[in-house]
């Protein structure tokens, strides 16, 4: 009986190898080694963040711009709702002196220091807000970390030349605030409305009823700061309050890897932990777009990672398969904390049932679910990633060398009780190890190789198909399949 099973298994593996051999034209995961980064210098009004900074991959849309068409001085600010193509959702232009806030802005707090009690807001605007949409200006005051006043001024229609506005804070502030949030948006995002082409342009903004304007107001928009942002090519980075680069030299291979970190964020009346996320696709109001061509029904996603958390969270990787523009399936794998050397993960793809995909989207997150967001101890959870690839189309970073197969012998294969590894002397002097990995990507056995002949017991392993990974300290490796009977 075992003999019949063995021949059936060999036949299955042969067919699988033939199938994979026909798919070498499959596109590799773009920039899966995170070696290629795009540097952008993005202008933002000094003291503020804007829509280009928080979505640097869309900075070329120009949703927040410095313009020479000023009411006074040299510059004004222009916010415009834009989109790159019909497949993408509209991107409102905005600026504000606060980051990491979600939910109802009427209960936000923080912002720039202020030590007087203003009565209103004055300035100049021109606008072209599309029918059904409305731009708005917001001013929110706090004292001792508590919101004491929030004011919103919605703007519609068209105004082709500068016009003065003078808004009175109603109801009036009853206390002198210690901080203030100021910002504006080109569309009515609070009602999920964003119509392409809606525009709001502002200049010469000031608070009324006070002697000295807040030092950080920059209401004439004369002061702008150039912020350098580096993003990995072909990946979308979602990390709203992280303006610094996520590129790191703490890598597994090559020159660079990517680092993502969770952080605290306000969501309405409560604080939560916000994930940092990268993906080869991006969300729209109705679906996910992007990704790369993929039509395999069998494959394996492999990558190397490190993950630390001060709480109880886990990281995650999600594979989203699409066919003719529609999502047909999702798979997700949780990643346990691992803080030594980079850990190898092998995640099998098996799409035997259902339609074959034409697109794959790969996404990584520093958190796995909403429960991880509610545990504030998870803030600071950090995920490092490198060498994300498919076994059908491996990356070529160029720094890792394959071990010479004539210097290594792994037998018997198929194996039952033990595996023998024969090594040359020079590979042992470099330091080496062998790891057995099951089809769920879990490392089930590992052993250092310190002699030219090493025995690895397979006791406890279930019958089936495994992968083995042999690595040396000199960054050489060899990967192979192992059948356990």
| Mean pLDDT calculated for residue range 135-144 | 94
Predicted confidence at residue 16, as pLDDT, reads 33
Which CATH number among 3.30.70.270, 3.40.109.10, 2.60.120.890, 3.50.50.60 corresponds to the domain 229-390? 2.60.120.890
Residue 338 scores a pLDDT above 60: yes
Cβ(288)–Cβ(278) under 8 Å? no
Local confidence band at 10 (pLDDT 50, 70, 90 cut-offs)? very low
pLDDT (0 to 100) of residue 378: 93
Listed by start position, the domains of the chain span: 47-222, 229-390, 400-484
Report the share of the chain in percent with pLDDT over 90.
48
Residue 399 has pLDDT above 60, yes or no: no
CB within 8 A of 132, min separation 6: which ones?
193, 195
Which among 154, 167, 148, 174 has a CA at the least distance from the CA of 206?
Answer: 167
Q: Is the dihedral of CA 166, 172, 176, 181 positive or negative?
A: negative
Output the DSSP codes for 69-98.
--SSSS-EEEEE-B-SSTTS--B--EEES-
- At the fourth CATH level, the homologous superfamily of domain 47-222 is BT2081, beta-jelly-roll domain (2.60.120.890)
State pLDDT tens for residues 307-335: 999 999 999 999 999 998 899 999 999 99
Class (C level, CATH) for 400-484: mainly beta
pLDDT at 436: 86
Is 378 exposed, middle or buried, given 0-12, 13-18 or 19+ CB atoms closer than 10 A? buried
For residue 15, the model assigns a pLDDT of 33
The pLDDT of residue 425 is above 70: no
Are the C-beta atoms of residues 342 and 384 closer than 8 Å to each other? yes
- Provide the pLDDT for residue 252: 92
78-82, 373-377, 409-413: the lowest-pLDDT one? 409-413
Of residues 268 and 118, more confidence is placed in 118
* Beta strand segments in 336-437, E: 338-350, 359-365, 382-390, 401-402, 408-411, 418-423, 432-437
Rounded mean pLDDT, 359-370: 93
229-390 shares the fold of 47-222: yes
Residue 159 buriedness (CB in 10 A; 0-12 / 13-18 / 19+): middle
- Residues 18-28 pLDDT 10s: 333 333 334 57
Tell me the pTM.
0.60
For the ranges 140-149, 165-174, 364-373, 417-426, the lowest mean pLDDT is seen at: 417-426
What pLDDT does 27 receive? Answer: 58
Average pLDDT of the chain, as a whole number: 83
- The string of pLDDT tens digits covering residues 185-231 is 999 988 889 999 999 999 999 999 999 999 999 999 999 999 888 88
pLDDT attached to residue 476: 60
DSSP element (H, E) containing 122: strand 120-129
Q: Which of 219-228, 279-288, 440-449 has the largest mean confidence? A: 219-228
- pLDDT for 104 equals 58
User: Is pLDDT larger for residue 233 or for residue 122?
Assistant: 122
With cut-offs at 50, 70 and 90, classify the pLDDT of residue 245: low
Q: Where are the beta strands (DSSP E) in 284-381?
A: 288-290, 292-293, 298-308, 315-323, 326-335, 338-350, 359-365
Number of H helices, E strands in the chain: 4, 37
């Amino acid at each position: 009986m075992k003999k019949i099973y063995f021949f059936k298994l060999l036949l299955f593996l042969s067919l699988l190898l033939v199938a994979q051999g026909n798919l070498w034209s499959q596109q590799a995961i773009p920039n899966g080694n995170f070696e290629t980064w795009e540097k952008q210098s993005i202008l933002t009004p000094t003291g503020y963040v804007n829509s280009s900074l928080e979505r640097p991959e869309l900075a070329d849309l120009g949703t927040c711009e410095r313009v020479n068409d000023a009411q006074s001085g040299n510059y004004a600010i222009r916010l415009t709702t834009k989109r790159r193509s019909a497949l993408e959702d509209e991107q409102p232009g905005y600026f504000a002196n606060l980051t990491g806030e979600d939910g109802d802005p009427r209960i936000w707090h923080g912002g720039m220091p202020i030590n007087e009690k203003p009565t209103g807001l004055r300035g100049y605007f021109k606008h072209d807000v599309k029918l059904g949409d409305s731009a708005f200006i917001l001013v929110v005051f706090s004292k001792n970390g508590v919101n004491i006043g929030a004011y919103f001024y919605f703007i519609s229609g068209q105004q082709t030349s500068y016009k003065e506005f003078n808004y009175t804070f109603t109801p009036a502030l009853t206390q002198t605030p210690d901080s203030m949030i100021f910002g504006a948006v080109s569309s009515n995002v609070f009602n999920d409305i964003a119509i392409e082409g809606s525009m709001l342009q502002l200049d010469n903004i000031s608070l009324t009823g006070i002697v000295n304007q807040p030092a950080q107001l920059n209401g004439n928009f004369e002061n702008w700061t150039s912020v350098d942002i580096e993003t990995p090519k072909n990946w979308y980075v979602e990390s709203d309050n992280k303006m610094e680069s996520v590129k790191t030299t703490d890598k597994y291979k090559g020159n660079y890897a990517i680092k993502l970190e969770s952080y605290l964020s306000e969501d309405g009346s409560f604080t939560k932990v916000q994930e940092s996320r990268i993906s080869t696709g991006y969300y729209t109001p109705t679906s996910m777009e992007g990704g790369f061509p993929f039509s395999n029904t069998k494959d394996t996603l492999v990558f190397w990672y490190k993950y630390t958390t001060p709480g109880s969270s886990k990281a995650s990787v999600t594979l989203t398969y699409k066919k003719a523009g529609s999502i047909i399936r999702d798979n997700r794998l949780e990643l346990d904390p691992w803080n030594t050397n980079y850990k190898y993960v092998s995640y099998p793809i098996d799409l035997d049932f259902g339609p074959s995909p034409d697109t794959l989207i790969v996404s990584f997150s520093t958190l796995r679910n909403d429960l991880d967001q509610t545990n504030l101890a998870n803030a600071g959870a950090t995920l490092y990633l490198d060498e994300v690839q498919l076994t059908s189309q491996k990356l070529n970073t160029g720094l890792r060398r394959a071990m010479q197969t004539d210097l290594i012998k792994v037998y018997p294969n198929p194996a039952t009780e033990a595996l023998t590894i024969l090594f040359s002397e020079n590979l042992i002097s470099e330091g080496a190890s062998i790891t057995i990995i099951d089809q769920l990507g879990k490392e089930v056995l590992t052993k250092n190789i310190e002699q030219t002949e090493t025995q690895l017991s397979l006791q406890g392993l279930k019958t089936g198909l495994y992968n083995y990974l042999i690595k040396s300290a000199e960054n050489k490796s060899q990967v192979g399949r192992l059948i356990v009977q």
